[in-house]
Amino acid sequence: MAAGSFLDFEKPVVELEKRIRDMREFASGENVELSREIGLLERKLDKLKRETFSSLSRWQRVQLARHPLRPVAPDYIEKMTKEFVSLHGDRGFGDDRAMVAGPAMLGDRPVMMIAQNKGRTTKEKVTNNFGMCHPEGYRKALRLMKLASNSGRPVVVLVDTPGAYPGVEAEERGQAEAIARNLREMAILTVPVVVCVVGEGASGGALGIGIGDAILMMENAWYSVISPEGCASILWPGEAAENAPRAAEALKLTADDLSEMGLIDRIIPEPLGGAHRDPDNAASMLRSAILDAIIELTALSEADLLSRRRGKYRVIGVYSEDKTF
């Protein structure tokens, strides 16, 4: 792992991995037998990885969701699908590079892929506005969702955004209206909709493509009404940076939290240490979970699908408390 591309709590693991690589290279180059020593270090590494990654705080999971090496939308699409064709434009204003969308084959099933793309390199991140979509991005997504509905293709959504773009120009072009329209229209799509939170799922920016029949979430993703930093800036003005971990704990934004509250349907495991440590395996587990959901949902009639979707969202947010006086 390149210098600067690991998180603070990953450092002991990365340093031990480097030590093992160096010993292997030395043993190979000098023709020295070090298999016993390397074996001891590998067992130590395995123990260290399990200790480090089995008890992560909520803030540490937020950091993993933002990891510079974590797979982004094009990585998952390339590894999971075949014959993907990226389509462009909202037929109204322009194209939003932060929203990737188009038909593809997932296994032997034709689907419509909708995904938020942060970008990998600095240039891509700037071009893609760091995954913060403009209204035309949400309108492009809806255009292709309706195309999928008309052609009978299930819709697969990959959510990964720090939020919808809040700039003046986005508001002028109807950001709130575009997101609200998507909420309404996704609620009545006549094909299965599988939503997967693969990284960050922040506020309306995530929800604008997040209405589905099955809500999946990767193990180290987060999904919340607001980012930890945004929450901290409201509760502790002037001290947001140091209070972001505290806000993350209060928000209960991890996959485990949302599963416990009944807000998501399935947690998708990641390779030990996060998806960035084995992107191929991470994509394989994500693909399997999506296909499982599609198989289950396509067995339903259109009426049952819509009824189940309505029922799913009507109970979200319902809270009751048994009080005895």
- pLDDT of amino acid 83: 96
Which of 34, 55, 76 delimits the end of a domain?
Answer: 55
CATH code, domain carrying 222: 3.90.226.10
165 part of a folded domain: yes
198-208 mean pLDDT: 96
- Reading the block at residue 226, the tokens are 């607001």
Q: What domain range is 48 assigned to?
A: 8-55
164-186 mean pLDDT: 96
Indicate whether 109 pLDDT > 70.
yes
Query: Token match 């480090």: residue?
Result: 52
Least confident among 5-9, 10-14, 201-205, 310-314: 5-9
* 217, 171: one domain: yes
304 part of a folded domain: yes
- Residue 13: strand, helix, or coil: helix
* 34, 75: one domain: no
* 238, 302: one domain: yes
* 278, 129: one domain: yes
* 31, 125: one domain: no
* 211, 89: one domain: yes
Which of 55, 74, 91 delimits the end of a domain?
Answer: 55
Handedness of CA 230, 234, 238, 243 (dihedral sign): negative
DSSP letter for 152, please: T
Indicate whether 4 pLDDT > 60.
no
319 part of a folded domain: no
- pLDDT of amino acid 179: 97
* 37, 68: one domain: no
Q: How many domains does the chain have?
A: 2
226 part of a folded domain: yes
- pLDDT of amino acid 324: 60
In whole angstroms, what is the distance from residue 295 CA to residue 210 CA?
A: 20
Q: How confident is the model at residue 32 (pLDDT cuts 50, 70, 90)?
A: confident
Which of 18, 33, 55 delimits the end of a domain?
Answer: 55
298 part of a folded domain: yes
In whole angstroms, what is the distance from residue 115 CA to residue 73 CA?
A: 6
DSSP of 233-284: HHHSTT-HHHHHHHHHHHHT-BHHHHHHTTS-SEEEP--TT-GGG-HHHHHH
Least confident among 28-32, 109-113, 293-297: 28-32
> How confident is the prediction for the chain on average, in pLDDT?
93
* 187, 268: one domain: yes
299-320 mean pLDDT: 90
238 part of a folded domain: yes
CA distances from 209 to 38, 125, 240, 273 (A): 48, 20, 28, 28
3 part of a folded domain: no
Contact 41, 16 (CB under 8 A): yes
In whole angstroms, what is the distance from residue 319 CA to residue 316 CA?
A: 9
**% of the chain exceeding 70 in pLDDT:** 96
* 248, 187: one domain: yes
Determine the angle formed by the axes of helices 279-298 and 73-80, rounding to 10 degrees: 70
Do strands 99-106 and 109-116 pair parallel, antiparallel, or not at all (unpaired)?
A: antiparallel
Q: How confident is the model at residue 25 (pLDDT cuts 50, 70, 90)?
A: confident
Indicate whether 37 pLDDT > 90.
no
Q: Phi/psi at 61 (nearest 5 deg)?
A: -70, -35
* 307, 224: one domain: yes
- pLDDT of amino acid 5: 80
Indicate whether 90 pLDDT > 60.
yes
324 part of a folded domain: no
* 51, 69: one domain: no
* 112, 256: one domain: yes
Instruction: Summarize pLDDT for 53-69 with one digit per residue, the tens.
Output: 988 999 999 999 999 99
Instruction: Summarize pLDDT for 240-250 with one digit per residue, the tens.
Output: 889 999 999 99
- pLDDT of amino acid 27: 83
